[in-house]
Structure 1
Amino acid sequence: MDYFNYSRRQANEVFVGATPMGGAYPIRIQSMTNTVTMDTEACIEQAKRIIDAGGEYVRLTTQGVREAENLKNINIGLRSQGYQTPLVADVHFNPNVADVAALYAEKVRINPGNYVDAARTFKKLEYTDEEYAQEIEKIRKRFIPFLNICKENHTAIRIGVNHGSLSDRIMSRYGDTPEGIVESCMEFLRICVAENFRNVVISIKASNTVVMVKSVRLLVEQMDKEGMSFPLHLGVTEAGDGEDGRIKSALGIGALLADGLGDTIRVSLSEAPEAEIPVARKLVDYIVQRENHPYIPGAEAPEFNYTNPSRRVTQAVGNIGGDNLPVVISARLDGNLEVSEQFEPDYIYCGQKLPENRREDIGYILDANCWDGTPGTYPAFNFQQMMELHLCSAPMKFLFMTYMGLNEEAQACLKLHPEVVLIAQSNHPNRLGEFRGIAHQLMTQGLRNPLVFFQFYQEKQAEDLQIKSAADMGALIFDGFCDGILLFNHGNAIPEQKVDETAFGILQAGRIRTSKTEYISCPGCGRTLYNLESTIARIKAATAHLKGLKIGIMGCIVNGPGEMADADYGYVGAGRGKISLYKKKECIEKNIPEEQAVEKLIELIKANGDYHEQEV
């Protein structure tokens, strides 16, 4: 893989009704209905809204044979109104349902974690190699008849692995690891290859972006080893709603798209399904415009490991680099120093004028020719001023640096100045490639200066800034290169505090700095057992001030306990109008009436000492 120059991975073609994917076809966009699959008219109307918004596949949950059979009526209803968009059946727990769905849907998604294996219970199971092989044979015997039905009906399949629903069998042998996630997928892929069934799409999803990205990278590596090139469906599951859902999705999906991986995507938001489509469209369009960009002559550092990266080793300069959390630098060139209490930047870059109303708990960065040694302020040099570094006595210095500027002279200078923090900047159409080039060059030369990424935009809408900046930062964070972010949006269209909030949101979505409560909430589907959007709003209103907590809000048990495994508390649909509450993996209280459940959740958080009242 070329880490510095964008090109799409060449996947084989898969035919999904009238909308093929992979090969030279464009990256497809999809969503999923949250209507009851037995309500034919409601499903048709919502599918139409998804399609009218630009959705190219529509997925529906199929809990049982009745729901699978009703796909026929939904399909007929859509076709009769001139809609030819393929339908995808989503199947869990019952392979018989998949057999029926293959007759009426253009694609069927199965979950390896519960297709033959029992539903996950977090039990440790012991297998000899022979016993384990027998379990694989059980899968093969049940899976092949399904493949034959798909062959006969020209139905595509998606092998959709979810981190939250890995089987106890996989967990017992591989642990809760990306390697286990990949093997769960490969078991089924190897059967497809043996049966010469190639109409297959793969997905690996998780609410944890680090797990999701690492697992997909590993999967592609393993497929390459075994001579496979199946197309990929990308998504961050349970991403949430609002700006958090957009940032988290763009960070995870964007990191993979930027490396040319992905043939179809879904942005999973806890909102109306059709609201997902414009977000996905913006993300795909932003990435693919890099195609045929000017060549970047990058060189991979010998110690870099793409599938198992670790944080680049740096020498701490003040609170930047080393073992410190990544910092947020805010650019405030207009003298406005008003900041949010919750999202207070670590440093403010002021340009050429030091404002009077500065605060002692924030560092201020000035252009080097304007810096006068005022305590709590630090100089910033540009490339032309680099040779003046030795004339400055500041204990911390910042140096704006481009990839092409990091020549032998610059490298020699940095070796003499470990107190310099590099601020990487780029105007290249593929700025990720140049930023990676700087990081790899520093590693190759043994330079341990901290590295902050300057991301510059001119957006008019906060959503566009969130999507683009998260997509640009994703791979840099997962590669282990990020010691800080300087996010700047030119103009006054987006408040500077909102820009700062976006920077903090990116770091949190990448799991490298926590600044607020994290909500792991599913987008809802026909299995959802309560009003998801209003419930999320109520829980957020009561808990958003609790910095550092993770709260899972899940519509049903398919991924609920599993995807919430690293959450502190969980709120899971247990039956129509009934909720179960979790503390980590342990179910604390079952079947609580929905109208009492949010208050009961707050009581549970309080009982464990994790709640404090919001300051007024």
Structure 2
Amino acid sequence: MKSSNPQVMVQAYRLLIRQMEDEFGICYPLHLGVTEAGDGEDGRIKSAIGIGTLLEDGIGDTIRVSLTEDPEFEIPVCKDLVKRYTRRDDAGSLTPHANGGPKNSAVHPIGAPTAEIPPIGHIPYSPFEYRRRVSRTLPGIGGQHVPVVMADFMQAGHIERGDLRAIGYSYDAGSDKWNIGDAAADFIYTGKKAIGFDLPGTLRPVCDHSAWLELDDQEKYIPLYQGTEYDRAGERSDTLNFIALDAADDESADLAESLKDDATIVLCIYTTHPIAMLSVRRLVMELFVRDVRCPIILAVESKDASIDEQLIHFSTEAGALLLDGMGDGVWLMNDPKKIVNTRVSGRTYLETKNNHQFLNNTSFSILQATRTRISRTEYISCPSCGRTLFDLQETTAKIRAVTHHLKGVKIAIMGCIVNGPGEMADADFGYVGSGPGKITLYRGKEVVKRGVDSAIAVEELILLLKDSGAWIDPVASPLVQAD
């Protein structure tokens, strides 16, 4: 089974298993992989979402990570994926927080209980097709809004304007305006701190309820409550209230149901259960059943020691839920002081100067890979083989350099004519090796130009993009006045 789209890949394998069981009464061993996943962070994230989602389902016997990089960079990604399941059989008997000690973050208060994941008689959604969970439309989140990104600044001692560059906002002092990127966060969690300057209108601050009570400008902030703290709160926001819920707590579903008619509630769902994704998915299923339509932010914390492992963890935990239509936003968090290796192995493209930028990049990359929020160009490229007729890594990097600003366009870079046209079926445009030094260019599945000299093929691809109305000249992001 092959697809470069993790969503199609996951649904296809699930359908295959159902068909085998219905027709033969047996399921043959399955080999998993997201074909032509590409390179860099995107290739790793797409692979982790597709393969990891199925491994979480208990599907898969062998795996292959397909990167447009030297082959020695593929195996570590496979190992990081597989080792997540080496202790999975014993996870149900683990004590609370046995997967890394007590949590102590915005949505992981120390002492939260771990519960067994209860069975469910009927899955209240189709795992064979994408349909986003219906949620209430609130200001900037839920309903038809694209999934949001929460930037976590809880551990920051102080927040300056320059710190927001890491999450997509660059301040221009001369004009007193903000430059907003395509991958700019929507909310920023500050913990117990207030921000001492005006934010752009597209960025909403969230703080602990106790800190919110002390603010003079409460209308600019969103309070965050820990579970039942909301019931006891005497003073609340009239517009938005965020509530952190532990999916492993037996009372979370009842609490959510009791708030189902409150049109200010956003649920930030995390879990203290060692089998995290399944725990969160089970609670969201219960919200389906009880018709709770509060928007949901998926809060995922990684305690892994390397950035490589964290990339796999975030992609699997959040990506699997997004593929099933669950989640109106993502909130990734970690403790940068505990990270031993702070650089992604192999080729990288996204600037990562600090941990905030890593989390923001990863959040938008996960949304891009699950096709739930498009913020940049998408690339489909093969890992190369003996049939490859040009330097695939160099050409992929060259094409990325001149097309990375084409938000929403899917470009395939394929090494040969044998598998290329079939495996790039999801692309808008294709660059395919068709002979020594020769390239064939595609618009969708249509051949547009054959036998293009590889020396000028990238320029010819740009002309094709222009002729097709898909090209825009690179421009700086607009400046926006601070609130």
2:151 aligned partner = 330
Aligned equivalent of 2:321: 476
Determine whether 1:257 maps to 2:55: yes
How do residues 31-50 of structure 1 correspond to structure 2 at under 5 angstroms?
none
Is the Cα–Cα contact under 8 Å of residues 301 and 441 in structure 1 kept in the other structure?
Answer: no
1:59-79 Cα shifts (integer Å, max 9, x gaps) = xxxxxxxxxxxxxxxxxxxxx
Structure 1 463/541 Cα, relative in aligned 2: closer, same or farther at 3 Å? same
Q: 2:9 aligns with which of 189, 212, 237?
A: 212
Deviations 1:458-503 (A, max 9, x none): 3453322211111112321122112110011212555211210101
Q: Note the C-alpha offset of 1:324.
A: 1.6
Contact 1:529 1:574 in 2 (8 A): yes
Output the CA distance in 2 between the equivalents of 1:208 and 1:398. 32
1:320 and 2:141 correspond? yes
- Separation in 2, partners of 1:575, 1:469: 40
Of the three residues 296, 313, 335, the one matched with 1:451 is 296
Q: Which has the larger radius of gyration?
A: 1
CA offsets 1:88-112 (integer angstroms, 9 cap, x no match): xxxxxxxxxxxxxxxxxxxxxxxxx
- Identity of matched residues, %: 41
Q: Which residue of 2 aligns with 1:275?
A: 73
Q: CA separation in 1, counterparts of 2:36 and 2:278?
A: 29
Structure-1 residue corresponding to 2:279: 434
1:246 aligns with 2:44: yes
Residues 459 and 614 from structure 1, CA distance in 2 versus in 1: closer, same or farther, beyond 3 angstroms?
A: farther
Q: Within 2, Cα distance between the matches of 1:490 and 1:328? A: 18
User: Structure 1 residues 217, 416: closer, same or farther in 2, change over 3 A?
Assistant: same
Alpha-carbon separation, structure 2, partners of 1:205 and 1:470:
20
1:386, 1:410 within 8 Å by CA — same for their partners in 2?
no
SS of equivalent to 1:291: helix
Bigger relative contact order, structure 1 or 2 (CA pairs below 8 A, ≥6 apart): 2
Deviation at 1:244, TM superposition (A): 0.5
Q: Residues 317-357 of structure 1: CA distance to partner in whole angstroms, max 9, x if unpaired?
A: 22222122111111112134332334211111111112123
Q: Within 2, Cα distance between the matches of 1:213 and 1:527?
A: 28
What residue is the counterpart of 1:296 in the other structure? 117
> Where does residue 359 of structure 1 map in the other structure?
200
Q: Which ranges of structure 2 fall in alignment gaps of 5 or more residues?
A: 93-115, 169-180, 340-353, 477-483
Partner of 1:369: 210
Change (3 A) 1:305 1:607: closer
Work out whether residues 150 and 189 of structure 2, in 8 Å CA contact, stay in contact via their aligned partners in 1: yes
Question: Could you say what secondary structure the match of 2:412 adopts?
Answer: strand
Q: Which residue in 2 is equivalent to 1:386?
A: 230
Instruction: Rate the CA distance shift 1:348–1:301 in 2: closer, same or farther, 3 A.
Output: farther
State the alpha-carbon separation in 1 of the partners of residues 253 and 3 from structure 2: 42
Aligned match of 2:260: 415
Indicate the residue corresponding to 1:598 in structure 2.
458
Deviations 1:510-565 (A, max 9, x none): 11111111001111111111110000010011111221111010111233223333
SS in 1 for 2:434: strand
The residue identity in structure 2 corresponding to 1:541 is: A
Which position in structure 1 is the counterpart of 2:343?
A: none
Give the structure with the larger helix fraction: 1
Residues 587 and 406 of structure 1, relative CA distance in 2, 3 Å threshold: farther
Q: Does residue 613 in structure 1 map to residue 473 in structure 2?
A: yes
Alignment partner, residue 558 of structure 1: 418
Note the C-alpha offset of 1:409: 4.8
The answer (yes or no) to whether the contact 1:551–1:567 under 8 Å persists in 2 is: yes
Change (3 A) 1:408 1:485: closer
Structure 1 spans left out of the alignment, 5+ residues:
1-203
**Equivalent residue letter for 2:150:** I
Tell me which residue corresponds to 1:123: none
Amino acid at match of 1:208: N
User: Is the contact between residue 459 and residue 490 of structure 1 (CA under 8 Å) also seen in structure 2?
Assistant: no
Note if contact 1:243-1:463 (Cα within 8 Å) is conserved in structure 2: no
Counterparts of 1:290 and 1:316, CA distance in 2: 37
**The residue matched to 1:573 in structure 2 has which SS?**
strand
Q: Give the letter for the 2:308 counterpart.
A: E
CA distance in 2, matches of 1:271, 1:503: 23
Task: Tell me the amino acid that sits aligned with residue 396 of structure 1.
Answer: L
Deviation at 1:408, TM superposition (A): 6.4
Deviation (angstroms), 1:265: 0.4
Contact 2:302 2:334 in 1 (8 A): yes
Q: Tell me the C-alpha RMSD between the 2 structures.
A: 1.8
> Is 1:542 aligned to 2:402, yes or no?
yes
Question: Which secondary structure does the structure 2 equivalent of 1:292 belong to?
Answer: helix
